[in-house]
């Protein structure tokens, strides 16, 4: 779990680097790109965990995102927990193909951003209509994140293969030690 959390944290750092390259303009007619590589890494990692572990991990990263990126109070924390719950429900019906992983990430980004838009609309923090929101904010965000998720899925597979080979090596060494112990009797 520590390696997964470290990987997600590094993806959030990449998000912050991307946000420096593509700064957000708050002009009404500008297109906005929100890098969600860390969020996608979180979503893809949550598929491996049970509900309680997934909710705790998502809550921790939701708080992290609230305080260091969004400067909001508990909005992303609640959204990340809801997304963790949805991912735990959806994972029963999915395999781990690249196509389904990309669809899962794009869908969860859309759901998260849609819920965030609804919250901001209820709190009267935005004046964008749904059409303007989708064209100016969501379209570019979903398109560019879909391209990045393809690379992310490959990186996650490399990380998981490395962790699996490391675990196999440790188990093999344990078996050898156990055999040495039995041969001394």
pLDDT tens per residue, range 88-144 = 988 888 888 888 888 999 999 999 989 988 888 888 887 778 888 888 888 888 988
pLDDT of residue 30: 74
Query: What are the pLDDT digits (tens) for 7-61?
Result: 999 999 998 888 888 776 666 667 788 888 999 999 999 988 899 999 999 999 9
Res 58: pLDDT: 93
For the segment 147-165, the average pLDDT, to the nearest whole number, is: 89
Any domain includes 71: yes
pLDDT value for 183: 61
Kindly indicate the confidence band of residue 71, based on its pLDDT and cuts at 50, 70 and 90: confident
Query: Would 180 be classed as within a structural domain?
Result: no
Structure tokens at 38: 């860390």
- Please count the structural domains in the chain: 1
Residue 169 falls within a domain, yes or no? no
The answer to whether residue 101 is domain-embedded is yes
Q: Assess contact for 92 and 81: CB atoms under 8 A.
A: no
For 112, other C-beta atoms within 10 Å of its C-beta total 20
Which DSSP helix (H) or strand (E) runs through 106? helix 98-122
**Domain enclosing residue 100, as ranges:** 2-17+33-156
Across 156-182, average pLDDT: 78
What was the pLDDT predicted at 3?
A: 85
pLDDT above 80: residue 5: yes
Say what the pTM is. Answer: 0.82
Does 27 reside within a domain?
no
- HEC states along 139-167? HHHHHHHHHHHHHHHHHHHHHHHHHHHHH
Is residue 163 domain-resident?
no
Q: Is residue 148 part of a domain?
A: yes
Residues written for the chain: 185
Q: Is residue 171 part of a domain?
A: no
pLDDT at 84: 93
Tokens standing for 183?
């041969």
């Amino acid at each position: 779990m520590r390696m997964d959390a470290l990987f997600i944290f590094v993806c959030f750092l990449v998000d912050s680097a991307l946000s420096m390259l593509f700064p957000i303009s708050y002009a009404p007619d500008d297109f906005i790109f929100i890098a969600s590589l860390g969020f996608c890494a979180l979503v893809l990692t949550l598929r491996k965990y049970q509900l309680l572990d997934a909710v705790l991990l998502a809550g921790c990263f939701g708080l992290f995102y609230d305080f260091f990126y969004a400067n909001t109070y508990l909005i992303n924390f609640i959204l990340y927990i809801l997304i963790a719950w949805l991912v735990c429900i959806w994972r029963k019906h999915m395999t781990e193909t690249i196509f389904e992983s990309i669809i899962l990430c794009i869908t969860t980004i859309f759901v998260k951003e849609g819920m965030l838009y609804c919250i901001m609309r209820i709190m009267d923090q935005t004046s964008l209509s749904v059409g303007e929101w989708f064209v100016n904010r969501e379209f570019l965000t979903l398109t560019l994140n879909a391209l990045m998720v393809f690379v992310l899925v490959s990186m996650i597979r490399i990380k998981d293969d490395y962790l699996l080979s490391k675990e196999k090596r440790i188990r093999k060494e344990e078996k050898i030690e156990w055999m040495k112990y039995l041969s001394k009797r």
